[in-house]
Amino acid sequence: MSNIGSYEERLKNFDWSIAEKELGYKDGDNINIGWYCSDRICQFGKADKLALIWEGLGGKEKQYTFNDVRLRSNTIASFLKDLGIQTGERVCLFMDKIPELYIGFLGILKLGAVAQPLFSAFGDESLHVRLDNAETTAIITQRKHVSKVRKILEKMPYLKHIILVDYDGSKPLREREIAFNMDEAEQVENFVVAPTKAESHSVLHYTSGTTGQPKGVKHVHYSLISQYLTTKWVLDLRDDDIYWCTADPGWVTGTSYGIIGPWSLGITQCVLDTGFSAESWYKFIEKRKVTMWYSAPTAIRSLMKAGEDLIKQFDLSSLRHLASVGEPLNAEAVIWSEKVFKKPFLDTYWQTETGSMMLTNYPGMKIKPGSMGKPFPGITATVLDTKTYEPINETGKPGLIGFKPGWPAMMRTYWRNEETYQKKFENNWYLPGDRAYIDNDGYYWFIGRDDDVINTGGHLVSPFEVESALLEHEAVAESAVVAKPDDVNMEVVKAFVTLKPGFIADDDMELKIMNFIRKKLSPLAMPQEIEYRDSLPKTRSGKIMRRVLHAEEWGEEIGDISTLEDD
């Protein structure tokens, strides 16, 4: 049975207490995400149900029931407690997508400490900036990554413990290092979970700023209320689902919807820790009989690039529901997924700071390819005038997206940076920093980041609109559009593209692409130049980093690039 009523039904008399009641929470009660995602599920009679199916390189596989998750998270919490780690201290998770990352996250929260997940691909400098800002007490990592920690250890007197989850005894442990094997340790049956409250600090996620240092986004245990309900209603997870969220928990999607959401609902999820290839992904879906798949536009475009013939080699009939997050989902990708998977990817819009989905294409709602959908019930959204920050009542007129503060998963501050946090609000609206317009039916349409919009001769051009047009050309695999300095128009449009295999990057191809998109774009939105690239700069979560290309064009400081794929 579906969890969802119609969007219109859900809007009527909506209140977040719906989630509180389902979770058995009352105002003032203790609320600990680690307990809710393990012990509580076992109490409901699902102790023997599979919680995690993990697959690594070479077909290596591990499986854990909800009771396994309960015991192991207890064991991790007890181990950390014995080390002297206190409530509120930061514990970093610096691992590949191995089971210890997912279960360790819950163990840290059970202790009452703060989980600080970071991408394992970070270099030592990127790692140091984030550990230093958080004054992290302990880091849980692997042999393959510990060398990065050792390089910066002298600069981190606050880092008391380096915990290796795969220590094999082949080399001696060094200063502050300690071994811990989650599966071989004596399992702790009973652990007194920290009596955390709604506003107790739970997770510290770092986002990359356009300039300056990364910002630590502070979340609290009450975020569970939003994450539980959005998972249930938007991802439509059901008791018999096999769920696959492709996001790394170093990114907020990988925690909100790769750990908290599904496990708070008692859902079986699977993880593939082998890197990306279209063939391996399709093989995984077929093998695991994945029913609900939550991925990112970059991955979807990469699948498009691999072609339809490959899809025909696999049985993907288990797929019931698809959703996307991370950057705007081009209309072309939605249409393509309907064609090849017989169902569309539903775009969802939110960010690290919001903690949970804000604008969504709700199941059962009419899908308008290229649209972000409508506000999730309980979210008050609008588009604001860029000068007065008053709501724009004119259909189709662009402005800044604004949300009324107060939803459960909203960040509480930027860690040790309250001043920057306060700048995110104007006229009692939270500003995520994106521009959009609302159509006659109340659907939101993304235009671009507030600082990405191209002003050419006084006319605003959406990079996303141009990128979408480029992606419809048969030769274009990926596209990124930025402003280029111009003496006459101040700024003009420049496009960067990567081509699909078999297409030649030459002047003739540029002419073909230009002629193709001329039919789709206004003259002002037409690129004045197309530059071919072998690859485009992306974050590890798959977002194309336009600002890197923009900085190159304008001769500016690039700013924080620690989340780039290849740094």
| Mean pLDDT along residues 89-96 | 98
One domain for residues 184 and 257: yes
Q: What is the pLDDT of residue 564?
A: 63
Percent of the chain with pLDDT over 70: 96
One domain for residues 495 and 362: no
Q: Which residues pair with 384 in a beta bridge?
A: 391, 400
State yes or no: pLDDT of 224 exceeds 90: yes
Domain boundary among 438, 469, 485: 438
More confident residue, 561 or 517: 517
Domain boundary among 438, 466, 498: 438
Contacts of 484 (CB under 8 A, 6+ apart): 491, 492, 493, 494, 528, 529, 553
One domain for residues 430 and 469: no
One domain for residues 537 and 493: yes
Give domain status of residue 301, yes or no: yes
Give domain status of residue 1, yes or no: no
More confident residue, 37 or 121: 37
Give domain status of residue 416, yes or no: yes
One domain for residues 391 and 518: no
| Counts for the chain of helices (H) and strands (E), in that order | 19, 28
CATH number at residue 474: 3.30.300.30
Q: What is the pLDDT of residue 209?
A: 47
Give domain status of residue 560, yes or no: no
Q: Which helix (H) or strand (E) holds 283?
A: helix 278-288
Q: What is the pLDDT of residue 1?
A: 55
Contacts of 201 (CB under 8 A, 6+ apart): 88, 114, 218, 219, 220, 412
Give domain status of residue 365, yes or no: yes
Domain boundary among 438, 462, 483: 438
One domain for residues 170 and 107: yes
| Mean pLDDT along residues 398-422 | 97
Q: Record the tokens describing residue 156, joined without a space.
A: 């981190």
Q: Are 102 and 259 in contact (CB under 8 A)?
A: yes
One domain for residues 204 and 285: yes
Q: What is the pLDDT of residue 210?
A: 40
State yes or no: pLDDT of 558 exceeds 80: no
Percent of the chain with pLDDT over 90: 82
* Domain span including residue 299: 7-438
Give domain status of residue 162, yes or no: yes
One domain for residues 535 and 415: no
More confident residue, 58 or 220: 220
> In this predicted model, what pLDDT tens digit does every residue of 276-309 receive, in sequence order?
899 999 999 999 999 999 999 888 988 998 999 9
One domain for residues 372 and 457: no
Ramachandran angles phi, psi of 33, nearest 5° = -55, -40
One domain for residues 459 and 356: no
Q: How confident is the model at residue 211 (pLDDT cuts 50, 70, 90)?
A: very low
> In this predicted model, what pLDDT tens digit does every residue of 449-503 receive, in sequence order?
787 878 787 677 889 889 988 999 999 999 999 999 987 777 899 999 999 999 9
Q: Indicate the average pLDDT of the chain.
A: 93
Give domain status of residue 567, yes or no: no
The DSSP output letter for 31 is: -
Q: How confident is the model at residue 562 (pLDDT cuts 50, 70, 90)?
A: low
Q: Which helix (H) or strand (E) holds 39?
A: helix 39-41
Q: How many domains does the chain have?
A: 2
Q: Are 408 and 425 in contact (CB under 8 A)?
A: no
| Mean pLDDT along residues 425-448 | 96
Q: What is the pLDDT of residue 208?
A: 65
State yes or no: pLDDT of 161 exceeds 60: yes
Give domain status of residue 445, yes or no: no
Quick one: which of 467, 384, 376 has its CA closest to 432? 384
| Mean pLDDT along residues 109-120 | 97
Q: What is the pLDDT of residue 567?
A: 43
One domain for residues 366 and 301: yes
State yes or no: pLDDT of 25 exceeds 80: yes
CATH number at residue 132: 3.40.50.12780
One domain for residues 417 and 491: no
